[in-house]
Amino acid sequence: MTRQMAKVHTLSRGQEYALAMAAAVVTANAYYIHPIIGEVADHFAVSHAQIGLVPAANQIALALGILLLLPLGDRISNKRLTIIFTACQTASLLCMSVANDFVWFLVGSTVLGFFTIAPYILPAYASKRVAPERLGHVTALLTAGVIFGILVARVGAGVVAEYAGWRWVYWIATAMMLAVTLAMPKVMESGERDRASEPYLSLVVSLFPLIARHREVLLSGIIQGLNFAQFICLWLALALYLTSPSMGYGTDTVGYLAAIAAVSIFSTPRLGRWSDRIGARQARSILASIQLCGIALFWLMGGSLLGLVVPLVLVNLVGPGIDVTGRMTFLSLAPSLRNRLTTIYIVIMFVGGGIGSVAGTAAYESFGWNGTCALLLTLSIVLTGLCFLARQAES
């Protein structure tokens, strides 16, 4: 027993950071569209509401992929799955890079979403290989990697598209994904521990009884679904708003503004350690309350580029912490369940992201920036209320 426990805690610091960087590159693929959404819409001659289908289909396909593919992580080597999925993403990005019409671009983005599973395998993979007292820190480190990927995607895509055209964004992304696919065999360990013995279909079907037994996962998933919906809604509408005739900025400005998210790279690991000390649910309630204040400021200060900076800093400081604390509510449970519990959580999260993609672009097209702010505030109020409900249920 002692020997088995010693083998579990095998991740080195170098491996932890390598996994975080891999999560960054893989996650970035869904976010290149954010600052360049207007330029891509103009290239394919589609409306703002139609171009919203690209991120929406990507997020919904991701939710479906997680539902059907992530449970395999409890049965098949996480290393093997990660390599397969990153290779499929590379092929999808190549399709987007060469697409000559909107339909093929949409298809490539949708397939890309379906195979974006690696960032959600990695936390469960890492949780089996670190000491329990470091779970919050390592989960936060991987989350910081995801944030870094989102940051680089939005900043880089805006700048590259402004000076070289939007297609170069996807050519560069294809090259980075190829590098990740080739690196994963050396970064990840072979062999798995605590694997489930059920057949694949049983693993998928077993998600529903797990929801009934672990209702906290359902509630945490809904909270993060709302959190992610408002994140997607904000950045898509913000890109359309800043590049509109009324504001008159280029895609590079959208990218530079997205660099504000860098604050969360430094704040999120600290929030993870803080959450280890005070408890995940209490920390989540506090963070949601701070985020609500930031969302309200978009309505009050969104009339100028400078005015947007304050609420963006506030939201980016605490928003990812809501995700970290949500995952902490179930990643301490039995190792053989963690991939499936993560499946439930992430499916709900990306359904929220898909709804936010459609709602955000539609609200902006119909009601402008004020309509977007009203939608964001509504989502944030419901999210904060659920956080306090979850905290009350715990006590």
- Whether residue 191 lies inside any domain: the answer is no
Q: Are 336 and 196 in contact (CB under 8 A)?
A: yes
pLDDT band for 2, please (50, 70, 90 cuts). very low
Q: Is the pLDDT of residue 9 over 60?
A: no
Which of 150, 173, 83 lies closest to 121 in space, CA to CA? 83
With bands split at pLDDT 50, 70 and 90, how would you rate the model's confidence at 197? low
Per residue in 293-306, pLDDT tens?
A: 999 999 888 788 88
Q: Whole-number mean pLDDT of the chain?
A: 86
Domain assignment present for 313: yes
Which is more confident, 38 or 2?
Answer: 38
Within 8 A by CB and 6+ apart from 392, the residues are none
Spatial distance between the Cα atoms of 211 and 297, rounded to a whole number of angstroms: 36
Looking up tokens 């409890």 gives: 74
Closest by CA to 89, choosing from 44, 126, 56, 58, is: 58
Q: Does 287 map to a domain?
A: yes
Cα separation, 48 vs 36, whole angstroms: 12
CA distances from 142 to 21, 194, 315 (A): 8, 21, 19
223, 387 Cβ separation under 8 angstroms: yes
Please tell me the predicted confidence (pLDDT) of residue 373.
94
Whether residue 156 is contained in a domain is answered as yes
The pLDDT assigned to 107 comes to 96
pLDDT attached to residue 292: 96
With respect to residue 1, please indicate whether it lies within any of the assigned structural domains.
no
> What's the whole-number mean pLDDT along residues 100-117?
95
pLDDT at position 193, please?
52
Q: What is the pLDDT at residue 190?
A: 66
Residue 210 pLDDT more than 70?
yes
d(CA 237, CA 370): 11
Per-residue confidence (pLDDT) for residue 195, from 0 to 100: 59
- Annotate the chain with three-state secondary structure: CHHHHHHHCCCCHHHHHHHHHHHHHHHHCCCCHHHHHHHHHHHHCCCHHHHCHHHHHHHHHHHHHHHHHHHHHHCCCHHHHHHHHHHHHHHHHHHHHHCCCHHHHHHHHHHHHHCCCHHHHHHHHHHCCCCHHHHHHHHHHHHHHHHHHHHHHHHHHHHHHHHHCHHHHHHHHHHHHHHHHHHHHHHCCCCCCCCCCCCHHHHHHCHHHHHHHCHHHHHHHHHHHHHHHHHHHHHHHHHHHHCCCCCCCCHHHHHHHHHHHHHHHHHHHHHHHHHHHHCHHHHHHHHHHHHHHHHHHHHHHCCCHHHHHHHHHHHHHHHHHHHHHHHHCCCCCCHHHHHHHHHHHHHHHHHHHHHHHHHHHHHHHHHHHHHHHHHHHHHHHHHHHHHHHHHHHHC
pLDDT at 77: 80
- Checking if the pLDDT of 4 tops 50, the result is no
Give CA–CA dist 132/334, Å, rounded.
12
Residue 78's pLDDT is 82
Give the domain range for residue 24.
Answer: 9-184+200-394
The single-letter code of the amino acid at 86 is T
Q: Which one is predicted more confidently, 15 or 284?
A: 284
| CATH number reported for the structural domain that contains residue 121 in this entry | 1.20.1250.20
Decide if 189 is inside a domain: no
Tell me: the pLDDT tens digits for 130-154?
777 677 778 778 878 887 888 889 8
Q: How far apart are CA 187 and CA 183, in angstroms?
A: 6
- Segment 60-92, tens digit of pLDDT: 999 999 888 877 877 788 888 999 999 999 999
Q: What is the pLDDT of residues 314-355, one digit of tens each?
A: 998 899 899 989 988 887 777 767 777 888 888 999 899 999
222-247 pLDDT, tens digit each: 999 999 999 999 989 998 999 888 88
Residue 4: inside a domain, yes or no?
no
CA distance 42 to 202: 46
What's the pLDDT tens digit per position in 364-395?
988 999 999 999 999 999 999 999 998 887 65
Express as a percent the part of the chain with pLDDT over 70: 94
- pLDDT above 60: residue 5: no
Residue-level pLDDT at 1: 39
Question: Is residue 190, in this structure, part of any structural domain at all?
Answer: no
Please give the tally of structural domains in the chain.
Answer: 1
6 — pLDDT class (breaks 50, 70, 90): very low
